[in-house]
Amino acid sequence: MHILQTVSVVQVVTESLKQSRMNAYEQQKRRLERETAQLLFEKKKAERGGSKRAEAAGRYQMEIDQRHEKLEMVEFQISQLKGLPLGTELKERDIQSIVEVKPGDRFYGKTGGTIVVKDSVIVEIRTEE
């Protein structure tokens, strides 16, 4: 019989991984800054309008505040990434694996294990039994 089991995928931090993640964070940061600038422009335009426009300005401000929170999070992630030593293992995600079980196998305590990836190449598969 086959069952599904959860397996963790971890990335080994390398210079290329740090650089690609840094590029992604910088791109996300630029996008959020552009969105914030556009929302500020729309808010100022709405404030010049009547009472219905003032209500819209409040909604724009909420969106601006959300973008600022996301920007702070991205900046925190950038600072954490800069301080991360090479060789560290980062949990990337969990995936499902098909495992064969048969009568007599120990069911409890059997976990899926871990797949270790370095520069997009699987370097190790750790099974935990």
Among left, alpha and beta (phi > 0; psi -120 to 50; other), residue 47 is: alpha
Model pLDDT, residue 55: 75
Q: Domain count of the chain?
A: 1
Report how far residue 17's alpha carbon sits from residue 94's, in angstroms, rounded to the nearest whole number: 19
**Vertex 90, ends 82 and 72: CA angle to 5°?**
45
- Per-residue confidence in pLDDT tens, the chain, 129 aa: 888 888 889 999 999 999 999 999 999 999 999 999 999 988 888 777 766 666 777 888 899 999 999 999 999 999 999 999 999 898 899 988 887 878 877 766 556 788 899 988 889 888 765
Report how far residue 97's alpha carbon sits from residue 88's, in angstroms, rounded to the nearest whole number: 24
Question: Considering the entire predicted model, what is its pTM?
Answer: 0.73
Report how far residue 29's alpha carbon sits from residue 71's, in angstroms, rounded to the nearest whole number: 6
Domain that holds residue 7: 2-126
